[in-house]
Amino acid sequence: MSFSGRSILPVIAIALLTGLSAFAGAAPIGAPATAFSLKDVRGNRANYSPHDGRITVIVFISTRCPMSNAFNARINSLYTEFSRRGVKFLVVNSNADESLDEVRHHAERMEYDFPVYKDENNVVADLFGAIATPDSIVLDEKGMLRYHGIIEDGANPQRSTKRPLRSAVEALIEHREVLEPVTHGRGCAIRRVKPLVH
């Protein structure tokens, strides 16, 4: 793994991460997810089905966003820990201005342990109402949306006091209610092919 601070670019375009009702069609907590398709960095299709029977974490990232890159190591750690417990991870780039080649080169440079997928035309970001990076989604074994929000409350891991993504995944593994299903934070706006419909 290579998560040097040198990979974090100068701060650019920081946008407020709003709630799940950010635009029409965004899925609310408790809504069932629909099947969707992503493209891996080699151009191969990868499909998600709500009938998969596994807890699924979707994390929206960016190659260029400094806030997103600040979480690279923590995303990798969460993947390593929870994938061993049967949790599926889909780490997704939805930015229209970040090409598949750029996503592949970034993933190779970061030496992620997880695959990264490209969300063409922002279909998956629109489905869940993701408007900034980083952002995270948790679906339960039945494909129901149980969490949407931040990974942690601090870009600096030493200053983080809340880890709601971890808490949500642990709650679902232990068949408990997710006590804080929606959280808000800051990140870089996802660059879309079309403007959002509010």
Quote the strand ranges of the chain, DSSP E: 14-16, 36-40, 45-48, 56-61, 88-93, 116-118, 132-133, 135-139, 145-149, 186-189
Q: What is the pLDDT of residues 103-121, one digit of tens each?
A: 999 999 999 999 999 999 9
Q: Residue 13: which region, alpha, beta or left (left: phi > 0; alpha: psi -120 to 50)?
A: left
Q: What is the pLDDT of residues 59-109, one digit of tens each?
A: 999 999 999 999 999 999 999 999 999 999 999 999 999 999 999 999 999
- Gap between the Cα atoms of 190 and 45, Å rounded: 22
| Cα three-residue angle 156-158-159, rounded to 5 degrees | 70
Q: What is the pTM of this model?
A: 0.88
Domain boundaries, the chain: 5-188
List CB contacts of 58: < 8 A, sequence separation 6 or more. Answer: 89, 90, 91, 92, 124, 128, 136, 137, 138, 139
CATH number 3.90.180.10 given to 5-188: no
